[in-house]
Amino acid sequence: MDIAITEIGGTSGDIESLPFLEAARQFKLESAANDVIFLHLTLVPFIRAAKELKTKPSQHSVATLRGIGIEPDLLVCRSEVPLEEDHFKKLSMFCNVPTRYVVEELDVKNSIYEVPLELARQELDLKVLELLNMEPGTLDLDSYRQWLDGVLHPQKECTVAVVGKYIKHQDAYKSIYEALHHAGIKHSARVKFLLVEAEDLESSDAEKILGPADAILVPGGFGERGVRGKVKAVEYARTHKVPFLGICLGMQCAVIEFARDVLGWKDANSTEFNEMTTHPVIDLMLEQRSITDKGGTMRLGAYPCVFDPESLAAKIYGKTEISERHRHRYEFNSKYRKDLEDAGLSIAGTNPESGLVEVVELKDHPYFIGCQYHPEFKSRPQDPHPLFAGLIAAALKGHEHAKAQ
């Protein structure tokens, strides 16, 4: 590796992060000159009443760092309005950082993918390389700028309902929102999120809440709260032919809903929520039964999955062997596989070694996929995940169709 970047969580002055800062201080002390630098990210707040930017909080935070023996080499100032020359001078003077190495990072307007351009505008990368005594190389951002222009000027739009149980926390489904955004970019579409708290759906008319959605996504989660709402969302997507993607618990809810509604097994459930159910279509994995510790003991990380070549998933991925990341304890109960398949639920993907069901689909539906794994973790802005790209393609098709009518 040429360059390692270590982000130290928390803010300077926190008791908890002191050992990390102390270790970083020692790390620099023990390294050759120009091998280690400190970049301090700080806030320069704009005080509306005084119409002024204030540098004092930054001065204090740097003073705290210097008190523990860390001298920042670079000061990156987050601000909503541009800094003026005086601010740079003042920050340089009081924080003991040369003015050239005091840079601003303004709030970006529309997308976090604008941030690299904002930093490039300030030549932060060049200044870092200067301090590390490394060759500048060349930077070509033309194709990135071109791509970003597409991101900022979508031609179409669609609405995706995300029916979750941690909806109020804006970062709880970060990768899912990003993956939907990436898929939208691919199709030149703005993806609007309809955030639905699963519990709210339980006592309401599904049509009223989910009616405006061009696609429905039910993400993962743990515990019984909100599961009835998630199952209701699946039912709506299945019966109204709304493009659907169920992830982890979302996939499990799809299996439960299908067993209850299509097979008529009214008490079908996951043993996570009802250990006494007569139809445990989702059950604790065998290897999980002897585990009592909660930390780091789920089925975690990358595992392979093989698709039925005839499946929608195989078509969407363009291949039949894939690897995806997992985080779960419960699984599709293979004991009910035949019954569910006979009733019309397609088993599209399984783990080649254990046979664990990874992907389920419905044939008589424009787009209905449930996956046990978490595709959202592997989506990239310029390389969206196939399952999300497929969902948005189906959503846009439905959106256009609805408009035409």
Partner 1 sequence: MKTKHIFITGGVVSSLGKGITGAALAMLLEKRGYRVAMQKLDPYLNVDPGTMSPFQHGEVFVTDDGAETDLDLGHYERIAGVTCSKASNYTSGKIYSNVIARERSGGYLGGTVQVIPHITDEIKKAMRSLH
Let me know: does 367 contact 391? Beta carbons within 8 Å.
yes
Which residue in the set 48, 168, 208, 403 belongs to the binding site for partner 1 (CB under 8 A)?
A: 168
Residue 201 phi, psi (nearest 5) = -70, -25
252 binds partner 1 (CB under 8 A): no
Residue 141, classed as helix, strand or coil, is coil
Which residue in the set 52, 80, 98, 115 belongs to the binding site for partner 1 (CB under 8 A)?
A: 115
Question: Distance between CA 111 and CA 134 in Å, rounded?
Answer: 30
Using CA atoms in the order 221, 224, 229, 231, what is the torsion angle rounded to 10 degrees? 80
> Given the complex with partner 1, which of 179 and 259 has the nearer CB atom?
179
Of 193-201, 229-237, 378-386, 389-397, which part binds partner 1 (CB under 8 A)?
378-386
Which residue in the set 141, 225, 239, 363 belongs to the binding site for partner 1 (CB under 8 A)?
A: 141
Of 86-94, 196-204, 293-301, 353-361, which part binds partner 1 (CB under 8 A)?
293-301
Let me know: does 40 contact 66? Beta carbons within 8 Å.
no
309 binds partner 1 (CB under 8 A): no
> Given the complex with partner 1, which of 72 and 386 has the nearer CB atom?
72
185 binds partner 1 (CB under 8 A): no
Question: Distance between CA 198 and CA 244 in Å, rounded?
Answer: 15
Which residue in the set 76, 162, 316, 359 belongs to the binding site for partner 1 (CB under 8 A)?
A: 76
User: Residue 245: which H helix or E strand, with range?
Assistant: strand 244-247
12 binds partner 1 (CB under 8 A): yes
Which residue in the set 172, 262, 284, 343 belongs to the binding site for partner 1 (CB under 8 A)?
A: 172
Let me know: does 173 contact 164? Beta carbons within 8 Å.
yes
Residue 44, classed as helix, strand or coil, is coil
286 binds partner 1 (CB under 8 A): no
Of 84-92, 154-162, 263-271, 299-307, which part binds partner 1 (CB under 8 A)?
299-307
Residues 6+ apart with CB under 8 A from 335: none
Provide the annotated active-site residues. Answer: 248, 374, 376
